[in-house]
Amino acid sequence: MTTIAIGLALVALMISIVPSVFACYEYTPGYWKHNVRVYVEGRGSYAADIDGVKESDASMEAYEAWIHANIYSGFTLECANVVFWLRGRGVQPMRQVLADWFNFAKGAL
């Protein structure tokens, strides 16, 4: 868990200095938290994006692969699920970083 937190913090710093070329995709941490949970736990149904297109197992796997290849090689949807459901001080910035990663992936794909 510490490794995930440190990795997220380091990448958050890197992302903050990289201009967002995918700014049109700014889905909230809650949007991604829900969709990651649907994928990992198999409960509920995927949310739709602003175009009305629902996420799917295939889209979530594509985002995972893109993030793994382009941002953080240790990334998995299972780890993202854990981070999204953490409680306590300082977790909201980590959730926002994960949402940014997913937004970058969605914009790239």
The number of distinct structural domains making up the chain is 1
> DSSP 3-state assignment of 54?
strand
Backbone dihedral region for residue 70 (phi beyond 0: left; psi -120 to 50: alpha; all else: beta) = alpha
Query: What does the pLDDT read at residue 8?
Result: 61
Q: Which of 23-32, 39-48, 55-64 has the lowest mean pLDDT?
A: 23-32
15 CB-side CA count, 13 A: 25
Look up the domain containing 18 and give its range: 2-108
Cα–Cα distance list, 50 to 55, 61, 100 (Å)? 11, 20, 16
**pLDDT tens, residue by residue, 27-38:** 999 999 999 999
Position 19 scores a pLDDT of: 44
pLDDT-derived band at 95 (thresholds 50, 70, 90) equals: very high
